[in-house]
Structure 1
Amino acid sequence: MESGSSLHAVETVILLLLVMVAAFAAMARRLKVPYPIVLVLAGLLISFLPHIPRVPLDPNVVFVVFLPPLLYASAWTMSWREFRRNAVVIGLLAVGLVGFTVWGVAFFSDHFITALDWKAGFLLGAVVATTDAIAATSIAKTLGLPRRIVDILEGESLFNDATGLLALEIGVGIILGGQTPTLGGGLVRLGYLVVGGILIGLLIGFIVSWLEKFIDDGPVELVVSLVVPYAAYLAGERAHASGVLAVVACGVFMSRKSTQFFSPAVRLQVQGAWDALTFMLNGLVFVLIGLQLPYVLTGIHGRYTTGTLILYGVVFSIVLITLRLVWVFPAIKTASFVERRLMKHAEDPLQPREVFVVGWTGMRGVLALAAAISVPEVLGDGRSFEARNLIVFLAFCVILVTLVLQGLTLPALIRVLGLAGVSGMDPEEKEARRIVLKAAVRHLEEGRKRDGHDTEHVYDDILHRYRHKLAAIGVGKEGELHEVDTEAISRMQAILEEALQAERRTLIGLRDKGKIGDDVLRTIERELDLAETRYQGTPIA
């Protein structure tokens, strides 16, 4: 009976959390506020209500259950071309900024927080140094930020976890055993984390992409896609490399290969299922952050006055934001010099207002809180680690300030700075559509000449439709659509599918040549998938 009651309690909590996610996400949409912010605040407020079930945040659940699929989904949507273009600045943020933050926090803690020495400060810096991929992706894309800024933030948050993991390992080692690592040893360990994680992720991606040649069933593909991120993460961790980078590398590789092994119908099924899954997991993560307040306050209760805690939380958050802004400006200036002078990139450097937005958008999320909770409670000599509860509290404060305060101020900030996204079709997407449609028109014109007069009226009708699409994006002349003779329906379907395949080949070619990003490819590819699915086995109206 006890196990049954425990199971019912777990079911009740999960149901309550899912209802909260759905209700408050709908409210966020009505308020036009990014839903992660609303969910964190909702969890925070609900945690004060009596008789609300307490849901402790287990770091193992975060790292093993939530993290792999969410990282995989973020990596899947990341543009490889944009990452290569911004690789220098992403590297300076993902590696340099993490180290700068750790040492800055250690110095500040040693001199200004009486309860922390430099060792505890180093550990605190490692806990909060990395930005959160989940928060960055969920918030930045909904605020109309310029695409390049989003690409930099997303790339940084996906790749800085290896550096943060190394810093956390070093910090725990210093606290538990007084170990002071050498610079050479740290660089070797970082290299193994990065290279090992990436190679493991690529290996798993290669194996799965080969197996995908023998699968073309929606439910089976969905199960495989769910297994892959967990397999990559666990393999990376088992090899003592970066499980995070293994998932990211595997996700980027599989995303690019998916254009070849997913059929249109399967791709739509898998994408729809993953959209729902990532929304649900994201929602649960942000609600759980808010619900942790009672545990954070319980750990710190009685040790410090309320005024002292508020002062520590506010000042520490300001210091962390300042450290990021101090690093970002010279780092992006350096990256721009390297890209333009040494790598011969023709892109204009980021303007100071854009650099400021990059510096201001340093959200922390559930990973920082999970890392803080994972800090050991007992030192190597058996004594309790008195500073642990304060580290957890300060990490919680930073999450609230960076996620809620900075997230809520971003829309006004980008409007004031004139960085709000422009309405209408992106120029790159428009050009890609023009090239793809023209390729289909050429294919149809060649087919009309090849097949002769018997199907000429069918080709004319389809060509008219394509020219109508070209006119819609400013190319060609608009005209009325002709009706198709019912006797030519089957032939028209075959011709349309051939034309769609010509579009698809051209689109993938543009991506592979680096002329368009993966985001543009996915936008147009989804439309082609929908069109091809509609034509296959369905009469054309």
Structure 2
Amino acid sequence: MHTILPFLLAMIAAVVLLEMWAARLRIAYPILLVVAGLLISFIPGLPAVKVDPDLIFFIFLPPLLFEASWTVSFKEMLKWWRIISSFAFLVVFFTALSVAVVANHYLPGFSLALGFLLGGIVSPPDAVSTGAITEFVKIPRATSAILEGESLLNDASSLIIFRFALVAVGTGQFFWQQAAGTFVWMIIGGAGIGLLLAWFFVQAHKRLPTTASSDIALTLIEPYLMYWLAERLHCSGVLAVVSGGLFMSARRLTFLSSSSRLSGYSVWDSLVFILNGIVFLIIGLELPEIVEGLRSQGTPLHTAIGYGVLITGVLIAARIISSYVAMVATFIFRPSVAPRLRNRAFLTPLLLGWTGMRGVVSLAAALAIPVALDDGRPFPHRNLILFITFIVILLTLVVQGLTLPFLIRRFRPFDGLATDDRDRDILVKIRDDLKNHTHDFLASRVDPEHREKLLKMWEERSKTTEGSGMDEKKKALFLELLDSQRRFLSELNSDPDIDEGVIRAQLYRIDLEEERLKVN
């Protein structure tokens, strides 16, 4: 313990320093963390890093998925549900199938079942990597929503493929009827358990006399309970956390106070940043252990690297092909919502296909492969699968991650959308509507003699961060006004043309104003 604890603290410190360095270099921090972990692993005297897969699946995955489901725009997900569903399920299966066929043909000793196992491991793109990389370039909210929505669901589909392939490798048999029933139960059961627990948690927050601290503590527990119960009932823990998180996110204004929401943003941002940083650092630190296992099986390192490059190429090609198929299907079946990209339409699927960076889930799934089969025989090609997974993560992060911002800036495929001007106009309109709503609210509750004075006081408060004292009657009136503004913005959010991110930013400002009122 005295050896591991300083090492863990040093890892957190390294994550913070590398993130600051990455921001200065204007590159995504997962890239720097993986490379740094790889370099650090060669320092003599460091303790060997052996990661329990349950640590990744149970400790890291639930909070990362839960936080992502709170930040994604559910309205945009509904708008683009067809393409999101196809990428999260059909494209993942197509990618796994492509990997299985290529692995079976080119990798000695790889059966189709082993190929599907490898395909299930490396098929899901990583949400954190994509989000960190696209942070440095401007992309339309529709593209961002597709990437975010896909990343929430593709983990579940890839892990389902992984489980079925694991059973097929272990038993040498695969029963389609049984697999189909299990697949349906994993999806429906996982989503149902997540929604049921989420409803229960919302009621608990509403009815219990919670404070901001206890609300945040409960939100830290909730994703673990969703994941654990779903897995115990042989459902998809990933879908349970995602569906539960989306349910609670859509109702955050009804069961969390402004204090809980504001404090929760800070706590969750810090927690997710540390968890992501540690995982990406671990990916690099794991390599020497994987290489050692590879050498023990007599596989030359250069041969294993070639296999990793081959599988990476298959993954990139499969995603790009799928992106073009999705674009054609969108233009045919949904021309009204198809992106208007003029003569650069052919570039958008190419760049969308180039966003398939791999990360946390692929690492966890590879590490979850058992060392031995049920009959005691060593699991076939386990170390090679681990090594190929590492090469895929490293290449997609470094090659695609470093080139994606450059390609977007160089070819500028989204210029025809003019999203900046449109979003700016929407923001101005929302603020004007909110101002008119404030005037109407005060007009309905205050006599004309005092109305102008209160309006002037409100406008002065909105222009300063300093508090100004007021009596309890005025404070109660302004608190009621803030609740009315929230309801007004929630109604505006039903408009499909209004970006949910703009609404959330205004709600955040209202929460800040409420906290200022309470402390005055």
- TM > 0.5: yes
Secondary structure, in 3 states, of the residue corresponding to 2:43? coil
Q: In structure 1, how many angstroms separate the alpha carbons of the residues matched to 2:144 and 2:468? A: 49
Does structure 2 retain, via aligned residues, the 8 Å contact 1:143–1:410?
no
Report which stretch shifted further, 493-502 or 385-394. 493-502
Report which stretch shifted further, 417-426 or 315-324. 417-426
Secondary structure, in 3 states, of the residue corresponding to 1:8? coil
Does residue 379 of structure 2 align to residue 397 of structure 1? no
After superposition, where does 1:173-322 map in structure 2 within 5 Å? 173-182=167-176, 184-213=177-206, 214-301=208-295, 303-322=298-317
User: Counterpart of 1:75?
Assistant: 69
Structure 2: runs of 5+ lacking an equivalent: none
Partner amino acid for 1:501? D
Distance 1:485 1:62, change over 3 A: closer
Tell me how far 1:495 sits from its aligned partner.
Answer: 4.1
Q: In structure 2, how many angstroms separate the alpha carbons of the residues matched to 1:507 and 1:316? A: 47
Tell me how far 1:497 sits from its aligned partner.
Answer: 2.9
Tell me how far 1:270 sits from its aligned partner.
Answer: 1.5
Of 130, 136, 139, which aligns to 1:136?
130
Of 321, 326, 331, which aligns to 1:326?
321
Partner amino acid for 2:388? L
Structure 1: runs of 5+ lacking an equivalent: 1-6, 470-480
Secondary structure, in 3 states, of the residue corresponding to 1:382? coil
Does structure 2 retain, via aligned residues, the 8 Å contact 1:145–1:419?
no
- The number of aligned residues is 510
Tell me how far 1:432 sits from its aligned partner.
Answer: 2.7
Does structure 1 retain, via aligned residues, the 8 Å contact 2:212–2:257?
no
User: Counterpart of 1:355?
Assistant: 349
Tell me how far 1:18 sits from its aligned partner.
Answer: 0.8
Does structure 2 retain, via aligned residues, the 8 Å contact 1:145–1:420?
yes
Does structure 2 retain, via aligned residues, the 8 Å contact 1:162–1:190?
no
Does structure 2 retain, via aligned residues, the 8 Å contact 1:74–1:137?
no
Does structure 2 retain, via aligned residues, the 8 Å contact 1:336–1:349?
no
Tell me how far 1:152 sits from its aligned partner.
Answer: 0.9
User: Counterpart of 1:505?
Assistant: 487
Tell me how far 1:252 sits from its aligned partner.
Answer: 0.7
Does structure 2 retain, via aligned residues, the 8 Å contact 1:432–1:516?
no
Distance 1:58 1:142, change over 3 A: farther
Q: In structure 2, how many angstroms separate the alpha carbons of the residues matched to 1:10 and 1:463? A: 54
Does residue 433 of structure 2 align to residue 440 of structure 1? no
**Deviation string, structure 1 residues 398-450 (Cα, Å, up to 9, x no partner):** 00111221111111011112157966854444433332222112223344xx4
Does structure 1 retain, via aligned residues, the 8 Å contact 2:439–2:455?
no
Distance 1:485 1:180, change over 3 A: closer
User: Counterpart of 2:406?
Assistant: 412
Tell me how far 1:335 sits from its aligned partner.
Answer: 3.9
User: Counterpart of 1:368?
Assistant: 362
**Deviation string, structure 1 residues 168-214 (Cα, Å, up to 9, x no partner):** 122112211111232x4433322211111111111011011111113
Partner amino acid for 2:381? A
Does structure 2 retain, via aligned residues, the 8 Å contact 1:136–1:157?
no
Identity %: 35
Of 532, 537, 541, which aligns to 2:514?
532
Q: In structure 2, how many angstroms separate the alpha carbons of the residues matched to 1:26 and 1:123? A: 37
User: Counterpart of 2:80?
Assistant: 86
User: Counterpart of 2:334?
Assistant: 339
Does structure 1 retain, via aligned residues, the 8 Å contact 2:467–2:516?
no
Tell me how far 1:142 sits from its aligned partner.
Answer: 4.8
Q: In structure 2, how many angstroms separate the alpha carbons of the residues matched to 1:192 and 1:432? A: 43
Tell me how far 1:140 sits from its aligned partner.
Answer: 3.4
Q: In structure 1, how many angstroms separate the alpha carbons of the residues matched to 2:88 and 2:468? A: 60
Q: In structure 2, how many angstroms separate the alpha carbons of the residues matched to 1:426 and 1:364? A: 34
Distance 1:359 1:430, change over 3 A: farther
Partner amino acid for 1:199? G
After superposition, where does 1:146-165 map in structure 2 within 5 Å? 146-165=140-159
Q: In structure 1, how many angstroms separate the alpha carbons of the residues matched to 2:68 and 2:467? A: 43
Q: In structure 2, how many angstroms separate the alpha carbons of the residues matched to 1:318 and 1:282? A: 26
User: Counterpart of 1:451?
Assistant: 447
Does residue 363 of structure 2 align to residue 383 of structure 1? no
Does structure 2 retain, via aligned residues, the 8 Å contact 1:44–1:291?
yes
Q: In structure 1, how many angstroms separate the alpha carbons of the residues matched to 2:471 and 2:76? A: 42
Q: In structure 2, how many angstroms separate the alpha carbons of the residues matched to 1:124 and 1:485? A: 62
Q: In structure 2, how many angstroms separate the alpha carbons of the residues matched to 1:72 and 1:313? A: 31
Does residue 112 of structure 2 align to residue 114 of structure 1? no
User: Counterpart of 1:24?
Assistant: 18
Distance 1:188 1:435, change over 3 A: farther
**Deviation string, structure 1 residues 364-394 (Cα, Å, up to 9, x no partner):** 1121122112222323443323411111111
Tell me how far 1:215 sits from its aligned partner.
Answer: 3.4
Report which stretch shifted further, 312-321 or 372-381. 372-381
Q: In structure 1, how many angstroms separate the alpha carbons of the residues matched to 2:214 and 2:467? A: 38
Tell me how far 1:74 sits from its aligned partner.
Answer: 0.2
Does structure 2 retain, via aligned residues, the 8 Å contact 1:170–1:181?
no
Does structure 1 retain, via aligned residues, the 8 Å contact 2:467–2:517?
no
RMSD of Structure 2 on Structure 1 (CA): 2.5
Distance 1:239 1:278, change over 3 A: same
After superposition, where does 1:518-529 map in structure 2 within 5 Å? 518-529=500-511
Report which stretch shifted further, 264-273 or 431-440. 431-440
Tell me how far 1:457 sits from its aligned partner.
Answer: 4.6
Q: In structure 1, how many angstroms separate the alpha carbons of the residues matched to 2:379 and 2:388? A: 16
Report which stretch shifted further, 112-121 or 346-355. 346-355
Tell me how far 1:167 sits from its aligned partner.
Answer: 1.1
Does structure 2 retain, via aligned residues, the 8 Å contact 1:106–1:121?
yes
Q: In structure 1, how many angstroms separate the alpha carbons of the residues matched to 2:135 and 2:192? A: 29
Distance 1:319 1:501, change over 3 A: same
Q: In structure 2, how many angstroms separate the alpha carbons of the residues matched to 1:512 and 1:232? A: 28
Distance 1:142 1:57, change over 3 A: farther
**Deviation string, structure 1 residues 334-361 (Cα, Å, up to 9, x no partner):** 2443334xxxx54536733222221110
Does residue 6 of structure 2 align to residue 15 of structure 1? no
Partner amino acid for 2:184? G
Q: In structure 2, how many angstroms separate the alpha carbons of the residues matched to 1:484 and 1:109? A: 65
Tell me how far 1:263 sits from its aligned partner.
Answer: 1.4
